[in-house]
Amino acid sequence: MSIEGTVVSLPVPKPLRLADAALFLDLDGTLAPIAARPQDVRPDPRRTRLVERLGRRLEGRLAVISGRTLEDVDRILEGAVTCVAAVHGLVRREPDGSVRQGQPHPALPLAAARFAEFVSRDSGLLMEAKGLSVALHYRLARSHGEAARQCAQAIATETGLTLQHGDMVEELRAPGPDKGDSIRRFLDEAPFAGAHPVFLGDDATDEDGFAAMRDLGGTGILVGPQRDTAARFRLAGVDEALAWLEACA
């Protein structure tokens, strides 16, 4: 949140009333520390027990909203969460376990080839193919950040792919639902319908979710350093987010 260009310090949220809440959680940077490489994030017993407990207390009104693939979300959370919006909302697993997803964009192979050419510049660069998107990570080669942004923007302009800016990552994805859209769709159906939505996220990719909270009268909670955001509350980092969730559970 900002007022005339000044970032406003956000308060810590009070514990949730789980009886009337629906909880939507980002994964990387919110439930799990961000790793240098996406594959380095591993399952954690504390995290798995927490989301299992929250799911029971919320009677199923729990969903993970992540840029990860569905397979990666299940790997990291050990299959503990049924409702998942993966690849920023392009893949969605429903409360009954069924999976819906969009169609791959025909320009994705071209984007992957361009990113593969780009990562050959430095061993610290990494390309991640997600089926409906392709991501270029530069956390281990930050000097290439501006060039990575320019490369991704040029491909998006040429192909019509949606460009998603993230934390040390540029991602090109098929046009379609974003995190905010995914939350809205979950709230249209049981068991989420009628509940007060709460969304925790850390990255620029989570701003669509925070905007949905603002529009729906819900609660947006930023995890991480203070910045300009549509969220109303803030927790300082992953450890604080996990502790807050444990207190709620």
Active site residues: 26
Kindly give, in sequence order, each residue whose CB lies less than 8 Å from that of residue 63, ignoring residues fewer than 6 positions away. 22, 23, 24, 25, 81, 83, 84, 85, 182, 183, 186, 192
Tokens of residue 183, six digits: 């939350």
In 3D, which of 62, 66, 24 has the Cα closest to residue 41? 66
**Matching residue, tokens 């955001």:** 229
Strand order in the sheet with 233-235: 99-101, 91-93, 83-86, 62-65, 21-25, 196-201, 219-223, 233-235
Contact (CB, 8 A) for 192 and 186: yes
Are the C-beta atoms of 176 and 143 separated by less than 8 Å?
no
The total number of residues written for the chain in this structure: 249
Residue found by looking up tokens 């504390």 in the block: 46
Q: Write the CB contacts of 144 (distance below 8 Å, at least 6 apart in sequence).
A: 121, 122, 124, 125, 138
Q: 3-class SS at 32?
A: strand
